[in-house]
Amino acid sequence: MKALVIGRHSGLAMRVLISLSLLLVAGSLFAHGVAGEDAEFLAQNAGRALAVYTYLGAKHMITGYDHLLYLVGVIFFLYRPKDIAVYVTLFAAGHSLTLLGGVLGDIRVNVYLVDALIGLSVVYKAFENLDGFNTVFGFQPNPKVAVFSFGLAHGFGLATKLQEFTLSEDGLVANIIAFNVGVEIGQLMALAVLLILITAWRSSGSFGRFANAFNVWLMFAGFLLASYQMAGYFYAS
């Protein structure tokens, strides 16, 4: 009977892991950029289009597998709603600043390098979740400062996707603010799904046995994303 219970818990943990993987990797099907009709709209639009920009922001966050991977790492060991709200707000504040400042202030960064940094942010968070800093270095950097700082990097990553286009100056400020609002809406939607999956996993009783393995997988995914972007950087050079 005990073996049967363990088997059920292990099976649930595996299903949660697979569900998270599918959710996070699904964004790659959309190439994590703006393409097709969305790209055509951005290239041709003139004037305010708040609803469309809000939709594009939400869509980009929901399909942004690198942002979602990091978000999973951030909330993975957070149990209290207050803590989740604080960390998610810090992340949102960081990427809002650089998204708005990057586009409206025309602050440009190399798309490959900033996306590589975003991949490394996933590695960093997973390493932190594994207590790697205390174990290897004997100290723990401030996690709130780290989340806000990496939020800045994620915001520049979002900005680069819009900077690929010559956006109309007519209504630009309102449109970019709407895009940022959409990003936050998309983040909240993704957060709700992720919390449901992680909470279900925790309630199964197998969370403790597989938590470290999941974060090792998270580190691998982050390294993979960073390596892919660095390869693109050297190829483009």
Q: Which spans in 109-142 are helix H? A: 111-129, 132
DSSP H or E stretch at residue 81: helix 81-104
Place of tokens 């449109």: 175
- Per the structure, the count of domains in the chain is 1
Residue 195 burial (10 A CB sphere; 0-12, 13-18, 19+) = middle
The number of beta carbons lying within 10 Å of the beta carbon of residue 91 is 25
3-class state of residue 150 by DSSP: helix
Place of tokens 């998204």: 99
Nearest Cα to 143, choosing from 126, 159, 155, 160?
A: 126
What one-character DSSP code corresponds to residue 138? S
Nearest Cα to 56, choosing from 173, 152, 185, 163?
A: 185
Q: Tens of pLDDT along 5-20?
A: 344 444 555 555 555 5
Q: Tens of pLDDT along 92-133?
A: 999 999 999 999 999 999 999 999 999 999 999 999 999 999
What is the spatial distance between Cα 91 and Cα 70, in angstroms, rounded to a whole number? 10
Nearest Cα to 223, choosing from 118, 77, 75?
A: 118
Q: Cβ distance 88 to 187 under 8 Å?
A: yes
Among 69-83, 117-131, 192-206, the range scoring the smallest mean pLDDT is 192-206
Residue range of the domain that includes 138: 2-236
What is the spatial distance between Cα 226 and Cα 220, in angstroms, rounded to a whole number? 10
Q: Quick one: pLDDT at residue 40?
A: 85
Q: Which amino acid is at 68?
A: L
Place of tokens 């920009």: 53
Q: Tens of pLDDT along 151-194?
A: 999 999 999 999 988 888 999 999 999 999 999 999 999 999 99
CA distances from 109 to 10, 102, 113, 114, 178 (A): 44, 9, 8, 7, 22
Which two three-digit tokens encode residue 121? 């942010």
Model confidence at 26, in pLDDT bands (50, 70, 90)? very low
The number of beta carbons lying within 10 Å of the beta carbon of residue 31 is 10
Q: Quick one: pLDDT at residue 3?
A: 41
Residue 23 burial (10 A CB sphere; 0-12, 13-18, 19+) = middle
Q: Tens of pLDDT along 131-144?
A: 999 999 999 999 99
Using the predicted structure, report yes or no on whether residue 236 has a pLDDT greater than 90. Answer: no
